[in-house]
């Protein structure tokens, strides 16, 4: 493990974080200064961070252009019918209706939160239970204003995977890393979750790298796999196991193998 720690530290200490931000979805919330704008832009950018980087960045640029200078003001006041007319493209599994329903859920969650922040929904239980609680709160929102009836389509459910059902919840864990960690590129806006509670945002790339480096031998991407990788990294950095997540995503992995 000492050998891996030394290699990770060399990669981390030589890494150009600011240059890598330009190639990462975190560049979208980086545009904003107001805390709730960063939070709203963060949950939106992370939720669409799958598939081709070029494709989801192009989609997000169009969506944020529609939302204007303050995404939080847009979300808190937007009219679903109006947005359905303005938004001209779907994204992957999600139709225009699914995308508008996702934004409508964010609007309702913020309005219902006593703190006017999504952090309110991540307060109790283990990290996995916190994510599940957020997902269940989101799926309780009545979506008749969007679909004409209260349904939950496949394209909408894709935004709200539940770790209790085994999902690694890559995009929610990515959002939480942004909100919780107070160093490197992350924002550190929230205090409800501690950095050592976070679980690594597990995608195909991180999974493959982790298998090569011996962080896990699991053969499927799941919340158990994500937790196992995180536990390995916690042996190296007990208080900040996700310290190396960004550099593992964007750095020269060949230097570690």
pLDDT tens string for the chain (257 positions)? 668 899 899 999 999 999 999 999 999 999 999 999 999 999 999 999 987 788 888 889 999 999 999 999 999 998 888 888 777 777 677 888 999 999 999 999 999 999 999 999 999 899 999 999 999 999 999 999 999 888 899 999 999 999 999 999 999 999 999 999 999 999 999 999 999 999 999 999 999 999 999 999 999 999 999 999 999 999 999 999 999 999 999 987 776 66
Checking phi first, is residue 194 left (phi over 0); if not, alpha (psi -120 to 50) or beta? beta
Asked, for residue 238, whether it belongs to a domain, the answer is no
Is the separation of the CB atoms in 255 and 15 below 8 Å?
no
DSSP label at 104? H
pTM tops 0.85: yes
Whether 2 maps to a domain, the answer reads no
| Measured distance CA(105)–CA(238) in Å, rounded | 35
The tally of domains found in the chain comes to 1
Phi, psi of 94 (to 5 degrees): -105, 125
Does residue 251 fall inside a structural domain? no
In a domain, 244, yes or no: no
**Which residues fall within 8 angstroms of residue 129, CB to CB, at 6 or more apart?**
164
Q: Which domain holds residue 154?
A: 18-195
For residue 190, is it within any domain? yes
Q: Would residue 242 count as lying in a domain? A: no
In a domain, 177, yes or no: yes
Q: Output the CA torsion sign for 11, 13, 16, 17.
A: positive
Instruction: Tell whether 183 is covered by a domain.
Output: yes
DSSP 156-209: HHTT---GGGT---HHHHHHHHHHH--STT------SS-GGG------HHHHHH
Q: Which of 44, 133, 138, 129 is nearest to 91 (CA)?
A: 44
Q: Are 156 and 94 in contact (CB under 8 A)?
A: yes
By residue count, the chain amounts to 257
Residues 6+ positions from 183 with CB-CB distance below 8 Å: 240, 243
Is the sign of the CA dihedral 93, 71, 193, 11 positive or negative? positive
- Answer for the pair 211, 225: CB distance below 8 angstroms, yes or no: no
């Amino acid at each position: 493990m000492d050998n891996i720690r030394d290699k990770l530290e060399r990669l981390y200490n030589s890494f150009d974080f600011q240059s890598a931000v330009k190639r990462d979805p975190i560049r979208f919330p980086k545009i904003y200064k107001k805390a709730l704008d960063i939070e709203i832009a963060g949950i939106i950018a992370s939720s669409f961070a799958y598939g081709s980087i070029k494709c989801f960045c192009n989609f997000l640029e169009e969506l944020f252009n529609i939302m204007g200078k303050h995404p939080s003001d847009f979300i808190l006041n937007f009219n679903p019918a109006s947005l359905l007319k303005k938004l001209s493209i779907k994204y992957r599994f999600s139709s225009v209706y699914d995308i508008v329903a996702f934004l409508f859920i964010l609007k309702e969650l913020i309005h219902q939160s006593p703190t006017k922040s999504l952090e309110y929904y991540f307060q109790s239980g283990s990290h996995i239970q916190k994510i599940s609680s957020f997902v269940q709160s989101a799926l309780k929102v009545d979506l008749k204003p969007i679909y004409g009836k209260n349904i939950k389509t496949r394209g909408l459910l894709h935004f709200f995977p539940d770790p209790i059902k085994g999902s690694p919840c890559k995009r929610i864990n990515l959002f939480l890393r942004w909100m919780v960690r107070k160093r490197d590129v992350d924002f550190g806006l929230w205090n409800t979750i501690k950095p050592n509670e976070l679980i690594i945002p597990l995608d195909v790339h991180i999974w493959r790298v982790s298998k090569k480096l011996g962080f896990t031998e699991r053969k499927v991407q799941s919340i158990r796999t994500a937790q196992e990788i995180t536990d390995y990294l916690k042996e190296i950095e007990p208080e900040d196991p996700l310290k190396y997540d960004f550099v593992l995503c964007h750095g020269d992995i060949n230097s570690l193998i």
